[in-house]
Chain A
Amino acid sequence: MSWIRTIDAATVEGPEVLGAKAHGLALMHRLGLPVPPAVVVVVEACREYLRGGKFPDGLRDELADAVAGLGARRVSVRSGAAVSMPGMMDTILALEPTEEAVEAAVAAVFDSWNAPRARTYRDLNALPHDLGTAVIVQAMVFGDRDDRSGTGIAFSRDPNTGAPEPYGDVLFGHQGEDVVSGRTRTLPLQALAERKPGVWDGLVAALHRIEDHYRDACYTEFTFESGELWLLQTRPGRFTGAAAVRLAVDLAEEGAITRHEALLRVSPGHVKLARTPRIAGDHEVIGRGIGACPGVASGRIATTVEEAIRMAPDGPVILMRPETSPHDMSGLAVAAGIVTERGGPASHAAVVARAMGKPAVVGVTGLDAAQGELVTIDGTSGVVVRGLAPAVADAAADHLERLLAWADDASGDRTPRGEAERLAAAREALRR
């Protein structure tokens, strides 16, 4: 039994063996895209480890040989299960690849499969505990090497609207974890086109090639080191709501998928979400965070509960706090929307905002706005813009209408019904 595979164009096993992340890397190799050299410890090795409490026979030697074969001065060691468990497991970056250090890192990733949060996640989502994760050991590339280096994430289309243009964040002179952690202010991906046109061209070409393969929007993580582009991860885009509707209709009209496939890709739940209000048009973005409760709210910024309560009778208020606690409840109650500087989708503010059904953006660092200033927040995309921005609930109306017309063609039912019901009937007819 061999526990390790080199990831290259010839790596054809499925995600159940390699994990989803390594499977995506192998795909990018086959598409001729630049991927830093990597090896993957297969999922079965993790299962053996979890069963026996030690590395299976032979893994240690294979790992030493494989890592030596990478010829890298620094490596990353990442989890990569067959199922998505976002942020639940360990990652070790910039490791000096001595035998001992790599073994310890692989063991740490294996162990993180059973971290309490990971176990809770699997319990809740009915995922078996004995699946295990693959581990990818990859040569590091450095986005902070020099002024021609950087890192970012990119979607082949806009995940907020489905619009057919690349979308994402870029950070010049930094490493990838700085983008994900939100510690550093990122720039819109288009900044790459202006500052590093060569890298931008390579990235756009890569996004097209991956999208053509998936016949779906894609998500990638990338780094460019001294002007050279490297792709570190890819997966399908997993769009929701209005973006899912527009994507499916556009792909069908571009001929990438059939109308029937389009209908099967959009769930009735997405159609319900497609009417979620969103900020319309272009506005000055003064802060970005994580959308914690969907919807749009405009109002004047209050930075304390007392101010919020005082200002509320005169017009809508956006409560902006470093984070929230029970003390903020009265302020949250009178506010039209909520912005916090710290915390993620499971923070106190996020939980309360969803309970109250109020648009909320959390984890906004360095917001450029003062007490009393008028702002608008979008709890789907997580942006804060200056001034009163209009909200629209039908940004995908044209696309939705076309999709529902195809749905009625498929079901043969043209009686008046709700939108979600029309789609559900078509999907049922197509699956019969």
Chain B
Amino acid sequence: MSVLHAIRCGGYSGVDRIAAATGLDPAAVESELIDLGVAGLVTRIEGGVWGLTDAGRAADAENTAAELDAAGARPAVAAAYERFLVLNPELLDLCTAWQLRPVDGVVRVNDHDDLAYDTRVLDRFADLDARAAGVCAALAAALPRFGRYPIRLSGALKRVAAGDLEYLADDTGSYHAIWAELHEDQLATLGIPR
């Protein structure tokens, strides 16, 4: 995935986040950002995060459309997106279940002191992730850059299993955040406005 497109899908991002999305090392990302900045496609704002300019957004839309047409991948991506939309509400429900839980009919913040409950939620995430991997495989078969998403998604779940609970829904590298980028990427690729 290009640096430009990573910012398009991830919104304002720091170097490390762009590196995670693209698979490039941070030095290469930084060098690319400077070139893109000179070309007027990205801009650096407070806190060292980078965002697209209007020209950058237009350039990315053009690149993405050209790539999609060159690969003849529109039908395949559109079909995969339909499958993704079936999974999306389930993902949001599961994130909510991770953060909130009903106790005696009343919804409360999940304070993660009930291991059995958390385990049930994580089991469902693993199940969802296996199905999401199928959608990602279809996307990656059409456009190889989608191949990074399943690796990043599964990686986030592994970190949660290892005890880094914030990698489910709290961190910018969380399962929820990567999922939202994947959602945005499909919209951007198909040219569907929000």
Q: Which residues of A sit under 8 angstroms from B97, Cβ to Cβ?
A: 120, 124
Q: Which residues of B sit under 8 angstroms from A273, Cβ to Cβ?
A: 108
- Contact between A123 and B124 (Cβ–Cβ < 8 Å)? yes
- Contact between A126 and B95 (Cβ–Cβ < 8 Å)? no
Can you list 11 A-B contacts (CB < 8 A)? A117-B90, A126-B120, A273-B108, A313-B46, A326-B181, A330-B45, A346-B95, A351-B92, A351-B176, A354-B99, A356-B170
Q: Mark A122-136, 1 if CB is under 8 A from B, else 0.
A: 011110000000000
- Contact between A238 and B106 (Cβ–Cβ < 8 Å)? yes
- Contact between B180 and A346 (Cβ–Cβ < 8 Å)? no
Q: Mark A312-348, 1 if CB is under 8 A from B, else 0.
A: 0100000000010111111000000000000001111
- Contact between A117 and B89 (Cβ–Cβ < 8 Å)? yes
- Contact between B9 and A346 (Cβ–Cβ < 8 Å)? no
Q: Which residues of A sit under 8 angstroms from B90, Cβ to Cβ?
A: 116-117, 120
Shortest beta-carbon distance from B64 to chain A in Å? 16
| A305 sits at the interface (CB 8 A) | yes
- Contact between A329 and B12 (Cβ–Cβ < 8 Å)? yes
Q: Which residues of A sit under 8 angstroms from B51, Cβ to Cβ?
A: 330
Q: Which residues of B sit under 8 angstroms from A309, Cβ to Cβ?
A: 45-46
Chain B contact residues (Cβ within 8 angstroms of A): what range? Answer: 35 or more
Q: Which residues of A sit under 8 angstroms from B46, Cβ to Cβ?
A: 309, 313
- Contact between A355 and B170 (Cβ–Cβ < 8 Å)? yes
Q: Which residues of B sit under 8 angstroms from A325, Cβ to Cβ?
A: 11, 180, 183-184, 194
- Considering the complex, give the chain B residue whose CB is closest to the CB of A324: B180
Q: Which residues of A sit under 8 angstroms from B12, Cβ to Cβ?
A: 305, 327, 329-330
What is the interface of chain B, defined by CB distance below 8 A to chain A? Answer: 9-12, 45-46, 49, 51, 89-90, 92-97, 99-109, 116-117, 120-121, 124, 166, 169-170, 172, 174, 176-177, 180-181, 183-184, 194
Total CB contacts across the A-B interface at under 8 A: 98
- Contact between A345 and B100 (Cβ–Cβ < 8 Å)? yes
Q: Mark A102-117, 1 if CB is under 8 A from B, else 0.
A: 0000000000000011
- Contact between B93 and A326 (Cβ–Cβ < 8 Å)? no
Which 6 residue pairs are nearest across A and B when measured between Cβ atoms? A330-B12, A327-B11, A355-B170, A346-B96, A346-B92, A326-B11
User: Which residues 348-369 of A have a CB within 8 angstroms of B?
Assistant: 348, 350-352, 354-356
Q: Which residues of B sit under 8 angstroms from A328, Cβ to Cβ?
A: 11
A-B contact sample (8 more), CB < 8 A, given A305-B11, A330-B49: A121-B93, A125-B102, A240-B106, A309-B45, A323-B194, A325-B11, A347-B92, A354-B100
| Bound Cα distance A322, B172 (Å) | 21
| A32 sits at the interface (CB 8 A) | no
| A269 sits at the interface (CB 8 A) | yes
User: Which residues 253-309 of A have a CB within 8 angstroms of B?
Assistant: 267, 269, 273, 305, 309
Shortest beta-carbon distance from A236 to chain B in Å? 8
Shortest beta-carbon distance from A50 to chain B in Å? 21
Q: Which residues of B sit under 8 angstroms from A123, Cβ to Cβ?
A: 120, 124
| Bound Cα distance A355, B97 (Å) | 13
Taking each of B90, B105, B166, which has the highest tally of chain A beta carbons within 10 Å of its own beta carbon? B105
Q: Which residues of A sit under 8 angstroms from B166, Cβ to Cβ?
A: 355
- Considering the complex, give the chain B residue whose CB is closest to the CB of A353: B99
Q: Which residues of A sit under 8 angstroms from B107, Cβ to Cβ?
A: 345
User: Which residues 229-251 of A have a CB within 8 angstroms of B?
Assistant: 238, 240
| A84 sits at the interface (CB 8 A) | yes
Q: Which residues of A sit under 8 angstroms from B95, Cβ to Cβ?
A: 346, 351
- Contact between A326 and B184 (Cβ–Cβ < 8 Å)? yes
Given contacts A238-B106, A269-B103, A351-B92, contact A120 B176 (CB under 8 A): no
| Bound Cα distance A352, B170 (Å) | 7
